[in-house]
Each structure stands twice: as C-alpha cells, then as structure tokens.
Amino acid sequence: MGFQKPPGTQDFLPGSVDTWQFVESKARDICRRFNFREIRTPIFEATELFKRGVGETTDIVEKEMYTFTDRGDRSMTLRPEGTAGVVRAFVENKLYGEPDLTKLYYIGPMFRYERQQAGRYRQFHQFGVEALGSADPALDVEVIALGYAFYTEVGLEGVRVEINSVGTPAVRASYREKLLAFLEPKRDQLCEDCRSRMDRNPLRVLDCKVDQHHFVGAPSILDSLDEECRTHFEAVRRDLSAMGIPFDINPRLVRGLDYYTHTAFEFKAEGIGAIDTIGGGGRYNGLVGEIGGPDQPGVGFGIGLERTVLLLDSQNADPERLHQVDVYMIGLGEAAEREISRLIYGLRQKGLSAERDYQGRKMKAQLKSADRLQARFAAILGDDELARGEIALKEMATGEQRFVPLDNLAAELSGQRKS
C-alpha cells in the first residue's frame, strides 16, 4: 500500500506553484516599500506561549492545536498562528530596546487541526505583519493599507475591509455584562455552540452562523466604548477614508483570538465555498506584557495564502504569473549538440531560462517539448549553421524563423524578453 499526504495538507506541484511564487514575491516587495523587515521564527514553540498569547478559551487552543511532548518531556505545539511567536522573539531578543518602531513580516506554514472544507486546511500558510512599539492609530491604518495594497496588487477583485473596535479589557468586561443580559432570556433557543460560548467567551456568540436572527437588537460594543477607544476608532476611520481605502464598520466583528484591543479588522471576499474571510488582524496592546515583556503596543494581520491563491486562480489566469522558458535549444548532430551544451550554460548565466533535450530525441519530439513548456523560442543548430556561426531562431507563437549570429543569441533573446 502506498502512502498518502496527511488529511488537510497539500502538495504544491510545479504546475500550480507559479501563483504561489508570484503572490509571495508581491508580499515581499510590498513589505520592502512599507519598510517591514522579514522575521523567521521556529515552527514549534512551547505550548504555554499559545495558551497565554492566543487565549485558553479560544477554539484554536481548546480544539485545534498540534501539541506533542518532546523527548525532553516538554510540551510543544506546532504554531497555529504567527503573532505569539513573533512577540516572543521581540521580547526574548529585546527588540523593544531599539529607538525605532519594530516592523516585521513573515511568510510560512501554520497548523490547526480543523474540519476540512474548501479553503480550510490543517497545514496552511500565512503572510503576516506585526508592527510593535506604537499605539498611534496611524499605524493601524498603515497595516490595513498594506494588506489592502497586497490584495490589489496581486490582482484580486472584490476584496472588502471590515473594521470594528473591540475596546480595552475593561470596556469588554462591561459590554460582556450587557450582552449576557440580552442573551440570557434566549439561552434555550440558541444552538449548543452559542450556549457554551455564553459561558466561556460571550463576545464570540455573535459570530454564530445559524443564530443571527436571535441577535437582532443586541447591544453593540461600539456603544460601550470609553473616550480613549472612541477617539482611537474615529482616527482610524478618518485616516482610512482620507487614503481612499473603502471599508465597512461591522460592530459584530469579533476575532477568534483573545489578544485584540481597539481596532479589529478582516479582509473579505466571496468565492471560496462557505468561507468569506481571507485575512484578519488588529491591535494587541496587552500581548507583549502578557508574554513577559514590557508594556508595548502592537498591531498586525495574518493573510491566508491558500485563500488568496484559490481566489486568484478562480478569477483569472494571468500569464504574467506563469513560469516561462525563454528558449528551447536543439542541436542536430554531435558537434552541434556539444555547442548547445556550451551555449545553454552561457544563456542561463546571463539570466535567461533555457531548456534542452537529454534523451536523444528527434527534432520533432524536441519541438513538441518546446511547445509543452510554452517556450517563447526554439533555437535550432545544425552542422551547417554551426559552420557559419549562426543559429535558427524560431518564434513559437508565430512559427516565424530567422538566423542570428551565435554571439548575438543572448542579446536577441534578452531584447525580446518581457520584463
């Protein structure tokens, strides 16, 4: 019996990986322009970090973590998200001692034991950013703008931004009371999930997909905000509008992680089955302290790359994203073939993508390979051309053929290369 990949994981094969590379390179380029620097942290961390960081009563910590005991009897967990590890690294490496803000990004795998469905995996990948060291609402806006720019620049259409303020822990405590007073009389009509959330994490009740009709008239957290929270939220809204970033206010937006304070936001789009959230984040002013560091505020997001790629592939197949071979080199006869080996090495060193045959196939079969690879050109060298110091260059799309001097081949191909 053969082996199969674990449920909820994927093999990214050469044919589908082009979109991944395209999306990742856009993420890196946007981060460069916004001056976010890359950080790479371990894929597993002490279990306690996620319990403290993400929150004991969240679905992630209660049901979804890949936790194991290592050979030294320590409890370890494959990271279910990126923020806790980045904040741990920020504290452990004392990055807070730097005079400037710490603006970081990461791209990598995360692990959650979730029920499989379209757009939901057990190993998935996030592009995330974390900006630490300032409570300025302008930084919330910068982070939202960066995420929005990412979706725009990869070419996704129909992405919406939803924002909310989840206040401070004190605001949430007083809102929790009001919300429970509203929910308690309806307890028996609510689903089992809601009833259990009422006891553990009442704000998450409003997230329920099936019971929405029971929540009409529920108190809004926005009415419970104190002066500081209100001012912060107003500034975020004002600056987003000034920058021309469209957004909706969703007072029911509660994220699935406990660390958020003030701004919480999500990126949404239709097109992946029942799932519409493709990225999310917010401000977390208490997290650094919670993880044992000084009192330093932060804000960030995590964008799901599977969901981005799924949507992109379903919306359009832009050839600009696809891997392209510039030229397929064909040598006819022993001397020509030897020359091809030398030439192809030179082309590759000059930055061109080039391929050749290694199976001794006839010219027709080689031209078919060039077609399958969608090579822009086939270059064909026979003994006659070799003697003249020329090579036949055939443009695959039009079939047009001409001779170019061997010494000019790289320049000819580069000149016609799409940048």
Q: Which residues bind to ligand HAM, rule: CB under 6 A? A: 81-83, 112, 114, 119-121, 124, 126, 128, 130, 255-257, 277-282, 300-302, 304, 306-307
- What is the smallest separation between the CB atom of 298 and ligand HAM, expressed in angstroms? 8
Q: Closest CB to ligand HAM among 81 and 390?
A: 81
Q: Closest CB to ligand HAM among 257 and 367?
A: 257
List, edge to edge, every strand of the sheet that includes 327-331.
354-356, 327-331, 377-381, 390-395, 401-405
Q: Closest CB to ligand HAM among 119 and 133?
A: 119
Mapped onto helix, strand or coil, the DSSP state of residue 71 is coil
Output the CA angle 110-269-138, nearest 5 degrees: 75
Q: Closest CB to ligand HAM among 55 and 331?
A: 55
- What is the smallest separation between the CB atom of 373 and ligand HAM, expressed in angstroms? 32
- What is the smallest separation between the CB atom of 48 and ligand HAM, expressed in angstroms? 17
- What is the smallest separation between the CB atom of 90 and ligand HAM, expressed in angstroms? 12
Q: Closest CB to ligand HAM among 166 and 194?
A: 166
- What is the smallest separation between the CB atom of 260 and ligand HAM, expressed in angstroms? 7
Backbone φ and ψ for 136, nearest 5 degrees, come out as: -65, 130
Q: Closest CB to ligand HAM among 81 and 326?
A: 81
- What is the smallest separation between the CB atom of 317 and ligand HAM, expressed in angstroms? 22
Listed in sequence order, the DSSP H helices in 102-255 are: 137-154, 169-183, 192-200, 227-242
Query: Pick from 296, 305, 262, 303: which is nearest to 131 by CA?
Result: 296
- What is the smallest separation between the CB atom of 230 and ligand HAM, expressed in angstroms? 22
- What is the smallest separation between the CB atom of 209 and ligand HAM, expressed in angstroms? 16
Considering only CA atoms, give the Rg of the chain: 27
Q: Closest CB to ligand HAM among 278 and 336?
A: 278
- What is the smallest separation between the CB atom of 385 and ligand HAM, expressed in angstroms? 53
Q: What is the H or E stretch that residue 279 is in? A: strand 275-283
Q: Closest CB to ligand HAM among 28 and 195?
A: 28
Q: Closest CB to ligand HAM among 311 and 344?
A: 311
Q: Closest residue (Cβ) to ligand HAM? A: 304
Q: Closest CB to ligand HAM among 140 and 385?
A: 140
- What is the smallest separation between the CB atom of 417 and ligand HAM, expressed in angstroms? 35
- What DSSP string describes 84-141? HHHHHHHHHTTGGGSSS-EEEEEEEEEE-----BTTB-SEEEEEEEEEES---HHHHH
> Which bin fits 321, alpha (ψ -120 to 50), beta or left (φ > 0)?
alpha
SS3 of the chain: helix, strand, coil, percent, to 5: 45, 20, 35
Residues 354/348, Cβ–Cβ less than 8 Å: yes
Distances in Å between the alpha carbon of 367 and those of 229, 298, 399, 414?
A: 66, 56, 11, 21
List, edge to edge, every strand of the sheet that includes 67-69.
44-46, 75-78, 67-69
How many Å apart are CA 190 and CA 199, to the nearest integer? 13
Task: Give burial (CB, 10 Å; 0-12/13-18/19+) of 36.
Answer: buried
Q: How far is C-alpha 192 from the geometric centre of its chain's CA atoms?
A: 33
How many Å apart are CA 237 and CA 222, to the nearest integer? 13
